[in-house]
Amino acid sequence: MNFELKHLDLIAAADEKADVLLLLLPKDYKGGKDELSTLMTTAIKSGDLETAAGKTLSMYRPLQVAATRLVLAVTDGSARSTRSAVLAAIAAAKSPQLKKMLVCFAAPALDEAVRAAVHAVADATYSFTTTKSKPQARTLAKTTIGVVNAPDVAQSFERAVAIVAGVEFAKEWANRPANHATPQHLGEAALALAKHPKISCEVLGPKEVAKLGMGSFMAVAQGSDQPLRFIVLRYSGASKNKAPSVLVGKGITFDSGGISIKPAAEMDEMKFDMSGAASVLGTFKTLSLLKPAVNVVGLIPACENLINGRAVKPGDVVTSMSGQTIEILNTDAEGRLVLCDALTYAERFKPSAVVDIATLTGACVVALGAVRSGMFSPNDALANSLADAGERAQDLCWRLPLDDEYAEGLKSHFADVANIGGRAGGAITAAKFLQRFADKFPWAHLDIAGSAWKSGANKGATGRPVGLLVEYLLAQTSTK
């Protein structure tokens, strides 16, 4: 889908031909003397359009506009309200004939509102088609965002369009069934990204990973016939002496739980267990478009967690790349086992910060639901930067504690550490496990188990937290 930003007032918007004109009105809209303004003020005065955020009024072929359909939607101008208004309006106007849409602000728009409108249009019209024999692809081909202050919001608009491309790239890979998104497939996707300027990629296989001593990662992979891949992406947008930010994405392309097997119900959703990896791929997609002056490394340990005669067993002890030994008490706590070796590998880049992204724990879903991702970091500056980035992107996270006492449950009689710490505070004990491997750099962990995908009738990947990650990285362009 193509997006365009256009300088439009209401008179010009009325003359634009489109399948739908989606007009966003402020709650306190007063209106002008043109026909479209008169229509809107009449609708408000008559009570047909309530002046509460998210309320809509839909009309077919009104004489006041050239568009086939007109949808009026009320917003208070904030990002959240704008998103809700656009989603509600598209739901009212969506049809197989929707190919060209104009989203117009009736008053000067804030940067955050324009970004929210772009993201909402993309979310509302996204369609996964890769594995369908008769796909119902997105019919909307072009969306024009009309504002009276277009030059003021142009930079935010361009950023939003690039982030949408990254989000949809992440959705594509997270939505793919596991047989269409194997570790090898993820490696190929990363190599394709390296065709863009400033991006390079190296994909390591089992032999290279064994030489590195990634015993924890290999232990998870040994239960599958699909060979593991360790993907190293690099975006070089700044000088070589500028320390990179490192993103580590959990790439479990299917998680059966291993010997500690999961219940059958909804196990199909475990194809989403590589959403952290997908978010890293999506972030690099956006970087290829925006070309910011930053250095970024993306690390993806990719494998399946399945069961065969070689599968790791509860009670097995493995040696991580760091040299620390791990007692695997639960084979379904495998994400931390692949991430810990990737965190050790990250040390070689002398990073300014490392952020790992993982669908790690059901406990985080219980704690925060699907609204906010869980965020853990012992570094206040990094934690604040990520939280601020989430607010700007409307891709929210919430900081959870890392008190040392939470690590007590990880003690083992037979190894340096156990891979689980009991049911209580499960998201925190998982983060405490990872913290043991991240003491050489500023580190943060994002648990996206609740935010990475939706279940039920709208099942599918959300593409989060690409927006948060991109906003965080772009903020680094202003730091030394």
Q: Which residues are catalytic?
A: 262, 336
Please name the amino acid found at residue 371.
Answer: V
Query: What is the DSSP-derived secondary structure letter of residue 148?
Result: T
**DSSP-assigned letters across all residues of 253-291:** EEE--TTSPPPSTTGGGGGGGGHHHHHHHHHHHHHHHH-
The four Cα atoms 285, 451, 419, 336 give a dihedral, to 10 degrees, of 0
CA nearest neighbour of 357 among 479, 229, 463: 463
Beta bridge partners of 145: 5, 103
Three-state DSSP class for 50?
coil
Q: Residue 40 corresponds to which amino acid? A: M
The letter for the amino acid at 476 is Q
How many whole angstroms separate alpha carbon 132 and alpha carbon 329?
Answer: 40
Q: Residues 259-285, buried b or exposed e (16+ Cβ, 10 A)?
A: bbeeeeeeeeebbbbbbbbbbbbbbbb
Q: CA–CA separation, 299 vs 296, rounded Å?
A: 10
Q: How far is residue 107 from each of residues 30, 31, 403, measured CA to CA in Å?
A: 10, 10, 48
| Bond prior to 465 in cis (omega within 30° of 0) | yes
